[in-house]
Chains A and B, each alone.
Chain A
């Protein structure tokens, strides 16, 4: 009974819980509602993934209106996989947020934070579930609007300008996407993704559809912060409350990458998009530029959150690169890096959040000798950092190895060099943090601080542990990612 309605429950649960948080007002109660809803969504996502693994894609007509007239929710392997990682991060961040948000957000606004958090989660999960191009726009804006609010909730006034800039660029991105959808609707008269896939080949050569493809690409790349459309990201992640940075870094850009996959491999499934308008060359050049330049900038940052934000930009380059290969191994690499990067960036931002919790700031000069004062926190940071570099036995190695294999298959040795080069830069910026926190003596007169509270450490270590677990035994994640990639490349669903 309930199992049949899981695709919609996944979205409705957090969506309905959000106003309840506002009605309850008490921070503790709002937190309880948020925890229940996000864990409920996580269970629903797991259930969906199992259903998809068992019996192939699920189609759910909203309100019983059959597609293509009604809105269809459609979960295939890729969608269910992304839904699982997004809801998992959502569920793990809530317990973490309790102590962290109390410290970083004004007390009378805490219930509003949980409301926005649930709305953002609902929007992100909606994107993974929907099979309708316009519905996707609505969810994209639900997720974006709530994340602007969450960023602006931080006490630092620079968070306001960061949120404002994100709002302007995010809205332009979403509007570009809307124009693209409109142009496609003009030529095909449908908004359903599966239906679009069938009708687009007939009109693929028209200028309208080429314009649509361009608008969609630029709009989504603004949302996923592909170099050089990334200007909103570093400040937004730096000044947002720590729990928000962890949540957004691990989910928001990942879901935007997922939208890009949807557009290229579902909507334009029967059209060879990468051969039109130099799309392959342009995207590949930008992805490589992102990998190298963002990693290089990260080396010079003194604020650790900002350093991680720039490293995120580089990692997004990897994902776009994987999509861009458009081969089975390449797309597998893109999808598995999406999953793995959510784990490691979540763990890293959470570890930095623990440092901020004790020290109020996470700059390189304030963390001297911190490895001895907060060993558990900094150990989690090291695990995440090793993952970022791509050391064997961590998740980073699995995804980078897959991407390198894909590049070798295509005989693109320069890309292999770029992947390795970016990883070397990652060693540089991760090592600086490790060196200062573990090998520098604690400065005299430094405040005696305890380890972060367990309610923050356990979620951090859950993600750091997942980085190791899925790095040592990657067979599950790799096989799911490979199956999603095979399905996406197999043509129209």
Chain B
């Protein structure tokens, strides 16, 4: 087996698990958002890896090239990136408003202030 092999898939899964772990384990709301972003990006990497065709060129029409990579996943991921950016923007906007309302972005402190009020 040549070096790359399933390398991309391993990376995608590693990123996925790292991101997922950060989302679950972190108490800081901003760090959670970062974890969520890593989690989403791992899926993008996964999709792009699917589209690779062995020996295929970039999917741009030109003379003398017979074999192209599959362009569809790239297009799908462009859409998914837009969705991801919108999610990040909204999540961060919510964090800003949570900071305004509670004066903190730590989950445990928010819970404390909730109970004391």
Contact = CB atoms under 8 A, between A and B. Distances in A.
Given A134-B76, A172-B36, A167 B47 contact: no
A163 B36 CA distance: 15
B87 A160 contact: no
A383 interface: no
B95 A164 contact: yes
Contacts of A167: 87, 90-91, 94
Contacts of A175: 39-40, 43
B15 interface: no
A292 interface: no
A182 B87 contact: no
B68 interface: no
Contacts of B90: 145, 148-149, 167
Interface residues of B, number: 28
Contacts of B47: 182
A152 interface: yes
A261 B91 CA distance: 30
A179 B46 contact: yes
Interface string B23-58: 100000100100010011001001100100000000
A157 B102 contact: yes
A170 to B, nearest CB: 9
The B interface, classified by DSSP as helix, strand, loop or mixed, is: helix
Contact of B98 (A164, A179, A186): A164
B32 to A, nearest CB: 6
B101 interface: yes
A168 B20 CA distance: 11
B110 interface: yes
Given A138-B79, A171-B36, A164 B94 contact: yes
A158 interface: yes
A182 B98 contact: no
Q: Taking each of B36, B76, B101, B114, which has the highest tally of chain A beta carbons within 10 Å of its own beta carbon?
A: B76
Contact of B43 (A145, A157, A179, A185): A179
Nearest to A135: B79
Contacts of B67: none
B84 to A, nearest CB: 9
Given A138-B83, A145-B90, A167-B90, A172 B102 contact: no
A182 B79 CA distance: 14
A314 B38 CA distance: 34
Interface in A161-180: 161, 163-164, 167-168, 171-172, 174-175, 178-179
Interface of B: 20, 23, 29, 32, 36, 39-40, 43, 46-47, 50, 73, 76, 79-80, 83, 86-87, 90-91, 94-95, 97-98, 101-102, 110, 114
28 contacts: A134-B79, A137-B83, A141-B86, A145-B83, A145-B86, A148-B90, A152-B94, A152-B97, A157-B101, A157-B102, A158-B114, A160-B94, A160-B101, A164-B95, A164-B98, A167-B90, A168-B23, A168-B91, A171-B36, A171-B87, A171-B91, A172-B20, A175-B40, A175-B43, A182-B46, A182-B73, A185-B50, A186-B50
Given A164-B91, A182-B73, 5 more contacts: A141-B86, A160-B94, A164-B94, A172-B23, A182-B46
